[in-house]
């Protein structure tokens, strides 16, 4: 059953090819399709396209369908094309003619748009929550181990003293900037496209401001053509924000894989959190972080994949856009899983003490010696030359006292300020306003 079908049966092979994975993916949007319909029918009653009795019966049954979705009892039947058709068909079967009126002033185009934006808002909240959890774990570790020194590297060569406090804190602050990008994606997703219909509006006197308020959107996509043009653009921007978080996770995972290596041996994990070898009994492999690294590298390719699928499409709807769900939906699941697993693993990380007491790290302190000479009045370039000569002739004597006090250094991590930045970004998402609107809509 298709809400657009007339008197011609579609070739079965064509139907199978064009529907693709839509039924399976649409199940993830079912609850949001009902929310969009609840807002739309309340607006239709306000402009005289539904009677109050019709509105009451539609609202009751839509809420029943919502409960069935939440309970896992909702299915999209094989004969039904998509989630929109399934909801409308169920409604018509249960309450009769009033169910056939809910599509007035709508197209499947703007139904998909509003479903996606509601769905994206929900998934963004999940990703932000999981990013916050990882951030909190990183800050906790940074504060707890701020005095444990660690080699710092440039070009993978021993460079200068670092610390576990700096290492953990660096990734925490990286996540703050990642959420700045996610906030931009949230703002794009939090605009209402409902009422744009097939992309050219409607002759019905729709009240789009009303549906915007009912669904908790911050504002509208005003221009109806642009509302349709937002399909693909919204997904790409969201993918870019996801890619930024993924890049942080991938880099952290690479560091972990290096630092757990026996030639570094800076960190370890309990045996039950690593994997072994079928023939080498000594192995403790960091498979979790290797998989996080690869998954997140895959997510970093997502914005380009979406761009290639949408490049040079003219304005208006095109069936190409349907395939975006197949790329984006699994990626959101994967990123959430990676965030959750990284947080869990870091709750059990074990750190080595006194790493820099090993003589092979002596040259880490060369800059400290140069700086000490400079503080005595020797020009920096001359001090650099003096210390360089001692290194070359084997007489270098490291000064291992670390006295870094400036903002963001070993002795002044500024984690309180970084946590404040995270709280500021998190507060701008305003998830509470959305929850309040949806709760009211379902009441």
Claim to verify: residue 133 and residue 48 sit in the same structural domain: no
Q: What is the reported pLDDT for 8?
A: 58
Q: What is the reported pLDDT for 212?
A: 98
Count how many domains the chain has: 3
- Asked whether residue 11 carries a pLDDT value surpassing 70, the answer given is no
Claim to verify: residue 181 and residue 264 sit in the same structural domain: yes
Claim to verify: residue 158 and residue 230 sit in the same structural domain: yes
pLDDT mean over 337-348: 98
pLDDT mean over 352-378: 91
- Asked whether residue 385 carries a pLDDT value surpassing 80, the answer given is yes
CB atoms within 10 A of CB 340: 15
Does the residue 403 lie in any domain? no
End-to-end Cα, the chain, rounded Å = 31
- Asked whether residue 157 carries a pLDDT value surpassing 80, the answer given is yes
Claim to verify: residue 31 and residue 159 sit in the same structural domain: no
Look at residues 339, 350, 352 and name the one whose alpha carbon lies nearest to residue 270.
350
Give the whole-number percent of the chain exceeding pLDDT 90: 78
pLDDT mean over 158-187: 97
Q: How far apart are CA 336 and CA 317, in angstroms?
A: 30
Q: What is the reported pLDDT for 283?
A: 75
Q: How far apart are CA 394 and CA 400, in angstroms?
A: 17
Phi, psi of 162 (to 5 degrees): -125, -165
User: What does 150-216 look like in DSSP terms, one character per residue?
Assistant: EEEEETTEEEEEEEHHHHHHHHHHHHHHHHHHHHHHHHHHTEE-TT-TTTT--SS---HHHHHHHTT
pLDDT mean over 300-329: 90
Confidence of residue 113 (pLDDT cuts 50, 70, 90): very high
Confidence of residue 3 (pLDDT cuts 50, 70, 90): very low
Range of the domain at 387: 359-393
Q: Which of 41, 75, 101 is the last residue of a domain?
A: 101
Claim to verify: residue 273 and residue 417 sit in the same structural domain: yes
- Asked whether residue 238 carries a pLDDT value surpassing 50, the answer given is yes
Q: What is the reported pLDDT for 9?
A: 64
Does the residue 428 lie in any domain? yes
CB-based burial label for 362 (10 Å; 0-12, 13-18, 19+): middle
């Amino acid at each position: 059953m298709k809400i657009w079908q007339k008197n011609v049966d579609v070739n079965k092979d064509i139907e199978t090819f064009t529907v693709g994975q839509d039924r399976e993916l649409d199940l993830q949007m079912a609850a949001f399709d009902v929310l969009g319909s609840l807002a739309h029918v309340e607006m239709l009653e306000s402009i005289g396209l539904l009677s109050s009795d019709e509105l009451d019966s539609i609202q009751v049954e839509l809420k029943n369908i919502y409960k069935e979705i939440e309970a896992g009892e909702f299915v999209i039947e094989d004969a039904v094309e998509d989630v929109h058709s399934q909801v409308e068909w169920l409604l018509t079967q249960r309450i009769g003619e009033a169910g056939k009126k809910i599509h007035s002033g709508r197209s499947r185009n703007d139904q998909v748009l509003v479903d996606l934006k509601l769905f994206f808002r929900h998934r963004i909240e999940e990703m932000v929550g999981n990013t916050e959890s990882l951030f909190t774990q990183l800050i906790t570790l940074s504060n707890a181990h701020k005095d444990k020194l660690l080699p710092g590297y440039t070009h993978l060569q021993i460079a200068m003293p670092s610390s576990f406090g700096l290492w953990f804190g660096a990734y925490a602050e990286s996540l703050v900037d990642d959420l700045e990008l996610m906030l931009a994606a949230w703002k794009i997703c939090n605009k209402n496209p409902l009422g744009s219909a097939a992309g050219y509006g409607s002759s019905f006197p729709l009240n789009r401001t009303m549906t915007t308020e009912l669904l908790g959107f911050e504002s509208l996509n005003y221009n109806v053509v642009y509302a349709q043009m937002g399909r693909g653009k919204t997904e790409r921007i969201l993918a870019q924000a996801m890619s930024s978080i993924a890049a942080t996770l991938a880099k952290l995972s690479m560091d972990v894989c290096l630092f757990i290596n026996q030639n570094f041996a800076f960190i370890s994990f309990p045996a039950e959190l690593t994997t072994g070898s079928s023939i080498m009994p000594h192995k403790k492999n960091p498979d979790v972080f290797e998989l996080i690294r690869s998954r997140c590298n895959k997510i970093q390719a997502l914005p380009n994949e979406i761009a290639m699928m949408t490049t040079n499409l003219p304005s208006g709807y095109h069936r190409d856009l349907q395939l975006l769900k197949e790329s984006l939906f699994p990626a959101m699941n994967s990123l959430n899983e990676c965030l959750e697993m990284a947080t869990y693993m870091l709750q059990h990380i074990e750190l080595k003490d006194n790493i820099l007491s090993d003589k092979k790290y002596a040259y880490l302190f060369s800059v400290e010696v140069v700086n000490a000479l400079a503080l005595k009045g020797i020009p920096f370039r001359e001090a650099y030359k003096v210390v360089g000569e001692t290194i070359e002739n084997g007489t270098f004597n490291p000064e291992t006292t670390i006295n870094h006090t400036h903002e963001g250094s070993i002795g002044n991590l500024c984690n309180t300020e970084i946590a404040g930045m995270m709280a500021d970004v998190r507060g701008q998402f305003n998830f509470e306003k959305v929850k309040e609107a949806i709760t009211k809509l379902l009441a």
